[in-house]
Every structure is written in structure tokens, then in C-alpha cells.
């Protein structure tokens, strides 16, 4: 039986736990959070789900040291500020084979370097939860666009949490275009820096533009004054998609069909419908559709550098990291 540790039983952590109820392989789960309140709420959410019966036990703890000594996979669903410390603690006191990390993974490039080195030495494989790679719809987009042609991506909407969510979109652009080399060429972030909906973290609005090595172009635009849902436009030489994720709807057109617009519906799975699939694939095959940590670092790096630079410019204090999560 596989042993799964879930560290951080907050909003997303409790959704990971709900997904694990649907595991199709026998597992035991150990959940760690700082407060008993979070553990109680996560337990309630878990018990709400009609599971497969393959979760043999769930234990709830308030400290990492209470976990079993040997774990197969640890899901680190805390906020970014403590992620490094939590991973270090797991690595110091426990033995794990795999890690599944929430984004934003870390707040500084330095943390990435240190943890990537630590995991390499310990031979632990880690992936980052940018789950659009698991959506059937984006697999279709990738099949139609990811043949090496440069693409143009535009993601825009009102106040969609650039600090917290840009990594999802860079990851998505990489996934559909199969490109991995990103550069931000222009940053027009607003001077007013906002408080994140998650306490203690910051958010940005404004626009970022960038390019990839193959000549793809992207823009990320978050308008401070509006609450228009995000629209994702992806164009290649042979296909074009205008995606309204919040409506589960897209307009697609293919050159082969004379660029005739066609409306398609697609499903946006909840995290509670995904984690068990990612986890079982990792446990059984040692592989994942999610983004390997080292690759995700390449996507985090230009974002972290741009946000940190902007923050330091605005507040005139050297941070060396950026409090996004």
C-alpha cells in the first residue's frame, strides 16, 4: 500500500484530500496542518466524498515529525512562504520518493536552486501542480498547435491575480507550444501593488509581454479596474482558439476549415477530480503529466525576477524575493 502525506490542509489542500478519496490504488493518507481547525474542515470535506474504498486510513497531525518515517509521495499544499522550510523538514526527518508541489513554488530563485540541489542529492523527483496539463481540452489545443510553429498567446481579464496565476499561463503556453525558453521583454506593471486575497501576500496588475526562443509571443494583461473574466487567445499558423475558461467554452478555427469559427464546450475539472490521477500515475510509473520542478523553475524565474524588480522599484527596499503565492 502506498503512503501519501498531504502537508497544508487549506483551501487547495482539502481539495487534494477529496480527490484522494477517489484513489483507484490502495493508499493510506497522513495530513499535516498547523491548526486543528484546518484539519477538522479538511476531514469534513473528505468525508463528504463518496470514495472508492481504497483509502485504508487517514491520519491527521499538526507536525511533520508525526508523519510515518517512510512516505511514497508528499503533496506540499502550503503557501509559498513556508514551502522551502516544509520541504527541508520533510527531507530532514522523513524519507520520501516523490514530491508534488503547489505553485507559486518558491518566492526566490535562490530557494529553487537550494531545493533542486537537495532533491537531486536525495534522488527525490518533484513536480509542480499546474493542472491545465491534465485537461483533455488543452491536449487537443496542443495537438493542433504544438508542431513547432511559433504561436501568439494573449491572456487578459480584470484583476485575475497576476502574481499568483501568471505561472499557470506560462506553463500552459509551454505545454501547448512545446517551448521551454521564456523571456519577459516588457513589463508595464501598475505602480499600485495590491494585497492578495491570501493574507500576507501581494498581487500585481498591469501587463507583461514576452517571447520564446522559437519566436512565439505572449502577453499577460490584468486590468486593475475591471472584473472581466479572463480570455485566453492562442493563435498559430494553422489553428486559433479563443478560450473562455470560466464558461467552459471556446471558439476554435482551423486553416484546413477555411478559418470557420466553431463553438466548443469543454470541461474544466476541479482539483478534487485530478490529484488522485496525478498521484497514482507518479506512484505506479514514476512519471507525471505535470511539470517537473526543474522545468517549472525555468518558467518561475522570469516571473519572479520581474515581480521582485518591480516591487523593489516601487517600495525602494531590497527584498531579494517576492511575496507572491
On whether the CB atoms of residues 86 and 9 are closer than 8 A, the answer is no
Q: Which stretch binds ligand NAP (CB under 6 A): 30-38, 67-75, 227-235, 239-247?
A: 30-38
Under rule CB under 6 A, residue 87 binds ligand NAP: no
Interface residues for ligand NAP in 198-227 (CB under 6 A)?
Answer: 198
Under rule CB under 6 A, residue 171 binds ligand NAP: no
Q: Which stretch binds ligand NAP (CB under 6 A): 29-37, 52-60, 225-233, 251-259?
A: 29-37
Under rule CB under 6 A, residue 131 binds ligand NAP: yes
Closer CB to ligand NAP, 144 or 272, in the complex: 272
On whether the CB atoms of residues 6 and 60 are closer than 8 A, the answer is no
The 3-class SS string of 102-168 reads: CCCCCCCHHHHHHHHHHHHHHCCEEEECCHHHHCHHHHHHHHHHCCCCCCEEEEEEECCCHHHHHHH
Closer CB to ligand NAP, 37 or 110, in the complex: 37
Under rule CB under 6 A, residue 32 binds ligand NAP: yes
CB of 297 to ligand NAP, least distance (A): 16
Q: How far apart are CA 242 and CA 53, in angstroms?
A: 40
Q: What are the angstrom distances between the C-alpha of 194 and each of 103, 179, 302?
A: 19, 31, 20
Under rule CB under 6 A, residue 133 binds ligand NAP: no
Residue 162 has φ and ψ, to the nearest 5°, of -60, -40
Q: For ligand NAP, which residue of 144, 212, 272, 325 counts as binding (CB under 6 A)?
A: 325
Question: Facing residues of 291 across strands?
Answer: 128
Q: Which stretch binds ligand NAP (CB under 6 A): 79-87, 149-157, 238-246, 310-318?
A: 79-87
Q: For ligand NAP, which residue of 104, 173, 220, 230 counts as binding (CB under 6 A)?
A: 104
Q: 167: number of CA atoms within 13 Å, CB side?
A: 28
Contacts with ligand NAP, residue ranges (CB under 6 A): 7-13, 32-35, 38, 77-80, 82, 86, 102-104, 129, 131, 164, 198, 325
Amino acid at each position: 500500500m502506498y503512503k501519501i502525506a498531504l502537508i497544508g490542509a487549506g483551501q487547495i489542500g482539502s481539495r487534494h484530500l477529496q480527490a484522494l478519496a477517489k484513489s483507484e490504488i490502495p493508499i493510506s493518507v497522513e495530513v499535516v496542518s498547523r491548526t486543528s481547525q484546518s484539519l477538522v474542515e479538511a476531514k469534513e470535506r473528505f468525508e463528504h466524498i463518496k470514495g472508492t474504498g481504497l483509502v485504508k486510513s487517514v491520519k491527521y497531525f499538526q507536525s511533520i515529525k508525526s508523519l510515518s518515517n517512510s512516505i511514497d509521495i508528499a503533496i506540499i499544499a502550503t503557501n509559498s512562504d513556508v514551502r522551502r522550510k516544509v520541504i527541508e523538514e520533510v527531507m530532514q526527518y522523513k524519507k520520501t520518493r516523490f514530491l508534488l508541489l503547489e505553485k507559486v513554488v518558491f518566492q526566490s530563485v535562490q530557494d529553487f536552486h537550494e531545493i533542486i540541489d537537495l532533491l537531486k542529492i536525495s534522488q527525490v523527483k518533484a513536480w509542480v501542480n499546474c493542472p491545465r496539463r491534465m485537461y483533455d481540452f488543452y491536449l487537443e489545443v496542443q495537438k493542433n498547435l504544438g508542431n513547432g510553429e511559433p504561436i501568439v498567446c494573449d491572456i487578459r481579464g480584470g484583476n485575475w491575480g497576476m502574481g499568483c496565476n501568471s505561472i499557470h499561463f506560462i506553463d500552459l503556453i509551454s505545454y501547448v507550444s512545446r517551448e521551454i525558453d521564456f523571456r519577459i521583454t516588457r513589463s508595464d506593471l501598475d505602480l499600485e501593488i495590491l494585497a492578495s486575497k491570501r493574507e500576507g501576500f501581494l498581487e500585481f496588475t498591469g501587463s507583461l509581454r514576452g517571447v520564446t526562443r522559437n519566436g512565439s509571443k505572449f502577453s499577460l494583461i490584468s486590468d486593475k479596474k475591471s472584473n472581466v473574466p479572463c480570455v485566453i487567445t492562442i493563435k498559430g499558423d494553422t489553428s486559433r482558439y479563443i478560450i473562455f475558461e470560466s464558461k467552459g467554452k471556446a471558439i476554435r478555427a482551423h486553416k484546413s476549415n477555411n478559418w470557420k469559427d466553431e463553438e466548443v464546450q469543454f470541461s474544466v475539472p476541479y482539483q478534487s477530480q485530478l490529484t488522485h490521477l496525478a498521484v497514482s500515475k507518479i506512484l505506479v510509473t514514476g512519471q507525471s503529466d505535470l511539470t517537473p520542478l526543474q522545468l517549472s523553475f525555468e518558467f518561475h524565474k522570469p516571473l519572479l525576477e520581474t515581480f521582485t524588480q518591480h516591487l523593489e522599484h516601487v517600495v525602494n527596499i531590497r527584498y531579494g524575493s517576492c511575496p507572491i503565492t
